[in-house]
Structure 1
Amino acid sequence: MTAEQQTVTDYNPATGAAVAELNHTDLATLPERIAKARAAQHRWAAKSFKERARHLRLMRDYIVERAEDLATIVSDSNGKTRVDALATEVLPCALACSWYGKNAGKVLAPQRRGGHLLFANKSTTVEHLPLGVVGIISPWNYPLSIPFGEITMALMAGNAVLLKVAAATPAVGRAIERILDAGELPEGLFQHIVGSGSQVATAFFENGIDKLFFTGSVPAGKTLMAQAAQTLTPVSLELGGNDPMIVLADADLERATNGAAWAGYQNAGQSCGGVERIYVEDSVHDEFVALLAKKTRALRHGPGRRDDISVDIGSLTTEGQLRTVQQHLEDALAKGARIEAQSQPVGDVEHGYFFPATLLTGVNDTMLTVCEETFGPIIAVERVTDAEQALTRANRSNLALTSSIWTRDTRKGRALAARLQTGVTTLNDHLYTHGLSEAPWGGWKESGIGRTHGPEGLLEMTNAKVINWDRLPAKRNLWWYPFDQATYRGLLNALHFAFPRGPLKWLGASLKLTPFLVRKMFSKWKVD
């Protein structure tokens, strides 16, 4: 079977029904596709930021007008509820079009750099130029908002984009194509590639992609980084988290339990920035658990219906992920954990990849759900004596994406936040900063390298270029040939002028340096 004849079928993980069927991209055509993208990118890079923003506004208008359709496509393809899809997928896409369209020009404008008085004759600017053609390989947990945010950053920075969406959610890739079509971009500037993630990544590297942006698992990220090393292709990797939540004794427990339920169970727990571990100070532990258990039992998981959006939690997206979550729960229970509460099924949950929202207590660091990323609707709560013990346990993980601290004392919370080893820490909230276009997103340790979103994300889409020139028409620099005793003494006087050990030393160095500079820089080099 040829590549053109191979297809991938998108199945609704909540019902098993087929959603869409797409043809695989023939990777033999990738050189031609990249050449086409490069030609389009040259024309696109010549446009002003204002002109590029106009195309993003067209995309934003399309997203707003077809918000319900897009939410339904995401829900059918990924398994999350339509409310979830609207809040965490569609809305952030519209916000991204707006923020990057308005701010990219300011962030990426040439910057003047000042220097020392010794280099007063030199002027320097730093310009941020497009990379060229960037590749994006995106995950299935947020199949619309993750790649689309990166696409908008890439476009506003002047790049062309080749997108490979997750094999589990190809219908969302087709929806992204329609959004980009609405933007009236130059032909070939954006292209959607369908196929195996590993094969597409290899083809990207072999055909000279200028940078790869990948969101996925730690093992896959390490494999891609090793491949990228062969060609020194730059990569940006977001590889997940095992994110802690710290609840102090003075926290508003009503808000804290509401936030824990949202950040732990949203998207069936398939959020790399979602809560997985909660450390609660001893004096409020039992009250916190009782409140969260009550709210967990009130949640409903199931497929929902087209005319009913009252289901809280949808299905997991893949059968493999369901098995992982089941394994983590079985491991925890075998090692002494207790189920305090679970959500209630609504409708037919037998034919989908459903797993109840589950609250665990009696956990410890030997359990998979504590020491690894579960990526499912399981929250593990652990009692701690104080904030210091909570910090120590929170920082043990090899993953360091996000974290949160819950307290009424903002000053104390910010001080503790500075000691948490994560790329993002929020106070009295969790799992929303990915939707803030202005805030950089990324983690430490094995959570990845590089950043997306915000000014930092825009800069990741560019090459920094320094341009330096002389203000005056000097013949030579101070350190140029010929070398002689005068040059040596001149350099010493320049050093004492720049870093004097008192006003008299500075004055003496100045008087000796000035005539030498004039002679060295503005007279001809007399060669016999």
Structure 2
Amino acid sequence: MSIQKTISPIDGSLYHERELDTTASIEKALTLSKKAQDAWKHTPLAERKAICEKALAYFLRNADEIGLEITWQMGRPVRYTANEIKRGFAERARYMIDIADEALATIEVPPVDGFQRFIKREPVGVVFVIAPWNYPYLTSVNSVFPALLAGNSVIYKAAQQTPLCGDRFAAAFAEAGLPEGVFQHLTLDHGQVARIIGDARVDYVAFTGSVAGGKAIQKAIDERFIIAGLELGGKDPAYVRADADLENAVENLVDGSYFNSGQSCCGIERIYVHESVFNEFVEGFRKLTLTYKLGNPLDPETTLGPLVKASAAAFARDQVAEALSKGARSLVDPSHFPADAAGSPYMAPQVLIDVDHTMSIMTEESFAPIVGIMSVKDDAEAIRLMNDSAYGLTASIWTRDKDAALAIGDQVETGTWFMNRCDYLDPALAWTGVKNTGRGASLSVIGYEALTRPKSFHLKL
């Protein structure tokens, strides 16, 4: 019997282990999910909304306990983890509940004498949600809540690093009175995931993870006529113009680079600064970086925890070493952060200058507390460099000129364009990306489109 083990990055201890689901239990889950959805789709939307409200109340009531679990599972400092539930999770869940009536409403068309015509939005069926570990609840809520609100059933797979998330979702929905089988969670390996995706009872896949993972999802779909929403990698840029409020830009871009130890799909990984303010910006960035405290994430004073695994830190250290070997300069001495230790997941933040796009730190996803900062001579150079990427999730501009921000935003290849903010997801806007960042969209009214299918009614009276 196969066992899934979760090793805590805090101290390398075994935090949790559980058995993988069997072929028999997976078959039972798929059968039950399909049967339960047939009934759930006929449940009035008002009742579906009420159940989701009750589930949200469970999460908010248990946010501090859930936050501690997140810290142990993936290493984010405990001073922040409860807010994944209290802020972002709650904001997104409430928004998708609030707009459900509008998003799922029957679409009326202009009348024609002798006919009645309209378009209904019907649930797609069984939605398979494959969740990541870095923001396990914040990302899952994007799909789980609207899928259920739309009348679908959900099968949920938690990441190996954050297995307790599936238990929490199940407990929340059980307490809320969700009918049996409408939400289920499974513990699976990659082969089992592929087999479930290939099963005719699965109607939609929502995946958040790596580009390699996205390709595996697409391969598993093979010849089936279903869609997968894929939120994959990122290498999100920021551009600081000459007219920027530098204090505001520094404060927010440091936070955007280092929050969650840089393990955020929309975190800042590369910064381009107009040459006239480059030195001032870089010095401010360096000074603020030095105020962070790297250490045990269970300490409420810690602001920078370990990366999820030692191998993740090793990858980031290799990126830094490669950049230094090609002429980059580091502005932060790791010895300033005593907890930094080679071979461990505890890694000091790094600020590199004299970087260029021959260095992987400026082109390949780091997912770590490291950032390269380049000087640019004008908007055109910044646009060219921002677009010189295989990814396109978010990008930000820091300026006092809204017209310039809009004009530049029209030229940058990205899913979301920010002015004077970063590393944030507004649930009223579609969360989407371009290029290797994936395809599809979640949240907003648009987020309901992939979770439903149109059915036209054409009645001759």
Structure 2 length-normalised TM: 0.95
Q: What is aligned with 1:93? A: 89
Compared CA separation, residues 350 and 144, structure 1 to 2 (3 A): farther
Distance 1:300 1:287 in 2: 23
Match of 1:450 among 440, 451, 459: 440
Alignment partner for residue 126 of structure 1, among 82, 95, 119? Answer: 119
The 8 Å contact of residues 16 and 352 in structure 1, kept in 2 or not, is answered as no
Give the equivalent residue in structure 2 for 1:141. Answer: 134
Q: Distance in 2 between matches of 1:342 and 1:131?
A: 53
8 A Cα contact 1:70 1:90, kept in partner: no
Contact conserved, 2:340 with 2:347, CA < 8 A, in 1? no
Q: Name the counterpart of 1:380.
A: 372
C-alpha separation in 1, matches of 2:254 and 2:313: 19
1:322 aligned residue (298, 308, 313): 313
Is there any run of 5+ residues in structure 2 with no aligned partner, and where? none
d(CA) in 2 for partners of 1:314, 1:383:
30
Partner of 2:180: 187
Residues 1:348 and 1:430: Cα distance change in structure 2 (over 3 Å): closer
Equivalent of 1:288 in 277, 281, 292: 281
Structure 1 match to 2:263: 270
Residues 78-109 of structure 1, C-alpha deviations (whole Å, 9 max, x = no match): 11112332334542222233222221111110
C-alpha distance in structure 2 between counterparts of 1:200 and 1:252, whole Å: 47
What is the SS of the residue equivalent to 2:223? helix
Query: 2:167 corresponds to which residue?
Result: 174
Offset at residue 348 of structure 1 (A): 8.4
Q: Distance in 1 between matches of 2:179 and 2:440?
A: 28
Percent identity for Structure 1 against Structure 2: 29
Amino acid at match of 1:288: F
Give the conservation status (yes or no) of the 8 Å contact 1:77–1:172: no
Q: Is the 8 A contact 1:133 1:161 kept in 2?
A: yes
- Per the alignment, in what secondary structure is the counterpart of residue 237 of structure 2? strand
Q: Distance in 2 between matches of 1:90 and 1:230?
A: 41
Aligned match for 2:42, one of 33, 41, 46: 46
1:202 alignment counterpart: 195
Q: Distance in 2 between matches of 1:205 and 1:77?
A: 30
Distance (whole Å) between structure 2 residues aligned to residue 331 and residue 161 of structure 1: 44
Kept in 2, the 8 Å contact 1:311–1:346? The answer is: no
Which sits farther off after the overlay, 325-334 or 345-354? 345-354
1:11-410 equivalent positions in 2, closer than 5 A: 11-114=7-110, 122-305=115-298, 308-341=299-332, 344-345=336-337, 352-410=344-402
Cα deviations by residue, 1:243-280 (Å, 9 ceiling, x for unpaired): 11000001011110111111111111111111111010
Q: 1:459, 1:82 → 2: CA distance? A: 36
CA distance in 2, matches of 1:398, 1:235: 20
Structure 1 residue 303 displacement after superposition:
1.1
The answer on whether the counterparts of 1:303 and 1:346 sit within 8 Å (CA) in structure 2 is no
Q: Which amino acid aligns with 1:414?
A: L
CA separation in 1, counterparts of 2:74 and 2:340?
17
The alpha carbon displacement at 1:337 in A equals 0.9
Counterparts of 1:405 and 1:113 in 2: how far apart (Å)? 41
Query: Residue 461 of structure 1 aligns with which residue?
Result: 451
Tell me if structure 2 keeps the 8 A contact 1:114–1:123.
no
Distance in 1 (alpha carbons) for counterparts of 2:114 and 2:250: 61
CA RMSD of aligned residues (A): 1.9
TM-superposed CA distance for 1:163, in Å, is 0.6
Q: Which structure has the larger Rg?
A: 1
Task: Report the Cα distance in structure 2 between the residues aligned to 1:345 and 1:386, rounded to whole angstroms.
Answer: 35
Given that 1:304 and 1:346 are in contact with CA atoms closer than 8 Å, whether structure 2 keeps it comes out as no
Deviations 1:42-61 (A, max 9, x none): 22111122111111111121
Secondary structure of the 1:374 match is coil
Give the corresponding residue for 1:503.
Answer: none
Q: Distance in 1 between matches of 2:76 and 2:445?
A: 30
Residues of 2 paired with 1:121 and 1:265: CA distance?
63
Distance in 2 between residues matched to 1:208 and 1:152, nearest whole Å: 20
Name the SS for the 1:254 alignment partner.
helix
Q: Could you tell me how far apart the structure 2 residues matched to 1:60 and 1:457 are?
A: 19
- Give 3-state SS (helix, strand or coil) of 1:144's partner: helix
Shift of 1:203: 2.6
Shift of 1:349: 6.0
CA-to-partner distance for each residue in 1:62-85, whole Å, 9 max, x for gaps?
A: 112111111111111111112332
Query: Is the Cα contact below 8 Å between 1:15 and 1:351 reproduced in 2?
Result: no
Kindly provide the amino acid, as one letter, of the partner of residue 271 in structure 1: S
Judge conservation of contact 1:440–1:453 (CA < 8 Å) in 2. Answer: yes
| 2-structure distance, mates of 1:137, 1:311 | 30
Q: Cα offset for 1:195?
A: 1.9
* Structure 1 contact 297–342 (Cα < 8 Å) conserved: no
Equivalent AA in structure 2 for residue 359 of structure 1? V
Amino acid at match of 1:371: T
Within-5 A mapping of 1:477-492: none
Measured in 2, the distance between the counterparts of 1:169 and 1:431 equals 22
For residues 498-524 of structure 1, give each alpha carbon's deviation from its aligned partner in whole angstroms, at most 9, with x where no partner exists.
Answer: xxxxxxxxxxxxxxxxxxxxxxxxxxx
Q: Do 1:278 and 1:379's aligned partners in 2 also have CA atoms closer than 8 Å? A: yes
How far did 1:314 drift? 1.0
